[in-house]
Structure 1
């Protein structure tokens, strides 16, 4: 069905153009469009302007006068991919002084010039949750990034004011990774105990914030407990690294006790406890592996996780955990998922809108609908085919990757001249490119 943006909405969008958004409309016609929010559109038309999608529909969709028209016949267009768990940007989190560092922000450590960002663009990723590591019970705050071309962290963040806005989630972990010598826990039981003790303190601090009328009015401020209070208030979601079935249940138990929002990350043994995850209404962000192994607690990992979670009714997304899965190869996760029993519809949602929902960004990204950010991919064929390539990646109406551009192509195919840490290719200053 034809869907277009009303005149009022067009005016509002034009009044609030994202920085660097293209002024001239671009129209892509002739492609198979996968809006994710609805049925595929054959011989479709996608119109974008001012960094937003202004129309998407069939061949009868009106194309604005003066638009740059792209012949996309034989191609497939779908929303930009959403990666709910990545480590691009060469950042870090907490150190070994404590097992919990809730005040640490990964945004303070991300290198916006890291070549991993260009690799992710080459893989069709446009939105990403960049995490600290999993060697702590709580390694710090994650950062939700839009993979625009940029030179500093402010060019990439979804939030505008890092001092006043919540710019990501909170990374937690259990199982093998955060165990160690004191002050780190030596057992799983002690690990859960440390987390509970800290959240109890945070509950007390939460009351101080409410009594004072705001976190900035508490004296002296405790930045660690302040961040945990954001978790308790439901304003900052917990991204919880967990593998074994018993560890998954411990994560759910902590979430239930303290009432915090949780996204289960990895859940290698999700197939064992899919019904329990569904009963807790917890989303699950999973990874697809073509070469399983690495550590004992993932011994029972299975790529059937996606199908098991779908059958149980769990909101499920895929992630790269880059570099476990190279961001350039992220799209094949959907194909693996379908091969192991997921439906095509849920597998494509798991690459796009499901991850957006887990980060609370579904109003802006994850589907091709009028009013949403103009983040999309031009693919050479069906997204589930191993022979399909990402030909173009567009973010807010600006092309950030083009396979036909030799400078971009290197990021897709690799090689020592590209990944030596000395180059950074962007399209700055090229309107609509």
Structure 2
């Protein structure tokens, strides 16, 4: 019986610095450096500058990229990778419409093919979330896509490890088939308001001389009210978007609008409140009625209104491997190239509260970056390498990795061993 030995791409960080020279750098924060170099030391970026200005440390490994592109790792603000596998899903808990106690991290399979495919597409950090079948679906997890277990990938090892997933529109109305609320948009909004009102009352009682018993369902909602936890709100239609904005106005919580198919219709309202938007670029609305009035110019219109934008996959709705293609489609329909590339990197990092660590090529930031074969927005460009915290976790030159980039879910059956020492 033949044993396929894979190389450990997620090995321990290099014992010596690595200098990437002769590269075209898309820094995002400082524009494009046409002839530049970058030095990585352990898990951090040490220097980024024009080639002649970068000091290469003695003993450093030097890699001449031959004019290839260095680009920050993609940050996907809306993903379900590791939760939804072939033949299994842990995305939506259907035992009741309100599930604030649930944690996505308790169901994420880091060795799943969906995670490997995302890395092959250049995603280094993802906001992995429960689904949109509930009015409050559970706690999200901010994850770097490395290692075998969720403990390896969690960005925050203790305390709050992500945001909160909420949803309105058609999806949470699914309980109607069981003759259970919510059956209408009115009921969805009413249940959400009731949760926040209950949490406010619980918070008030916590400050009293005789605090109440601990309530695990209300605790994470109090964290939302205290500004510690961001709400990631699934919403499509313009009227549903306005419902989210009313709730945020009333209860003063931080929110990232997710999907926002009809954002172009209420862009002025979103911009006036300075609420960030994470949107999806789809080829066609398919059978989803809420997306029937989708406009390819959605991103361009919201960008023109001054809204901070991110582009996400909602994997499996769009494969994480195609986020650069999404950005290219947004540019085709009027979004600026700079805005689209920022929507894959620094903007989503800031939406997750991680802008000081990831999302751009800057000294002191985590060494999360990609080596690309060419222009990020070109359909001919491939992700050649993906690095997370200074460790190479994807290399297109290796057959198993390349198949995760080009093949389907069946790749996992052919290459079940995820990580083997080099």
Is the Cα contact below 8 Å between 1:363 and 1:372 reproduced in 2? yes
Residue 382 of structure 1 corresponds to which residue in structure 2? Answer: 375
Q: Secondary structure at the match of 1:55?
A: strand
The reply on whether 1:363 has 2:356 as its aligned counterpart is yes
CA distance in 2, matches of 1:147, 1:94: 22
CA distance in 1, matches of 2:150, 2:409: 26
Unpaired runs of 5+ residues, structure 1, are: 1-18
Is the Cα contact below 8 Å between 2:236 and 2:260 reproduced in 1? yes
The reply on whether 1:205 has 2:202 as its aligned counterpart is yes
Say which of 233, 237, 240 aligns to 1:240. 233
Say which of 151, 155, 179 aligns to 1:154. 151
Is the Cα contact below 8 Å between 1:97 and 1:183 reproduced in 2? no
The reply on whether 1:262 has 2:259 as its aligned counterpart is no
Matches within 5 A, 1:213-292: 219-292=212-285
Say which of 7, 27, 48 aligns to 1:35. 27
Say which of 374, 398, 403 aligns to 1:410. 403
Matches within 5 A, 1:71-150: 71-90=64-83, 92-93=90-91, 95-148=93-146, 150=147
Is the Cα contact below 8 Å between 1:98 and 1:183 reproduced in 2? no
The reply on whether 1:171 has 2:171 as its aligned counterpart is no
| Closer/same/farther in 2, CA of residues 370 and 104 from structure 1, 3 Å limit | same
CA distance in 2, matches of 1:26, 1:154: 27
Q: Secondary structure at the match of 1:172?
A: strand
| Closer/same/farther in 2, CA of residues 204 and 416 from structure 1, 3 Å limit | closer
CA distance in 1, matches of 2:409, 2:131: 27
CA distance in 1, matches of 2:150, 2:417: 15
Runs ≥4 residues deviating over 6 A: none
| Closer/same/farther in 2, CA of residues 31 and 218 from structure 1, 3 Å limit | farther
Is the Cα contact below 8 Å between 2:74 and 2:122 reproduced in 1? yes
Say which of 40, 43, 48 aligns to 2:40. 48
Is the Cα contact below 8 Å between 2:113 and 2:409 reproduced in 1? no
Q: TM-score, normalised by structure 2?
A: 0.92
Count of aligned positions: 404
Is the Cα contact below 8 Å between 2:114 and 2:409 reproduced in 1? no
CA distance in 2, matches of 1:429, 1:59: 34
Q: Secondary structure at the match of 1:36?
A: coil
CA distance in 2, matches of 1:119, 1:367: 22
Unpaired runs of 5+ residues, structure 2, are: 1-10, 85-89
Residue 336 of structure 2 corresponds to which residue in structure 1? Answer: 343
Is the Cα contact below 8 Å between 1:175 and 1:242 reproduced in 2? yes
Is the Cα contact below 8 Å between 1:124 and 1:328 reproduced in 2? yes
Is the Cα contact below 8 Å between 1:125 and 1:147 reproduced in 2? yes
Q: In terms of mean alpha carbon deviation, does 294-303 or 381-390 score higher? A: 294-303
User: Per-residue displacement from partner, 1:35-67 (whole Å, max 9, x unpaired)?
Assistant: 000121112101001200000001111111111
Q: TM-score, normalised by structure 1?
A: 0.90
Say which of 284, 293, 296 aligns to 1:303. 296
Residue 14 of structure 2 corresponds to which residue in structure 1? Answer: 22
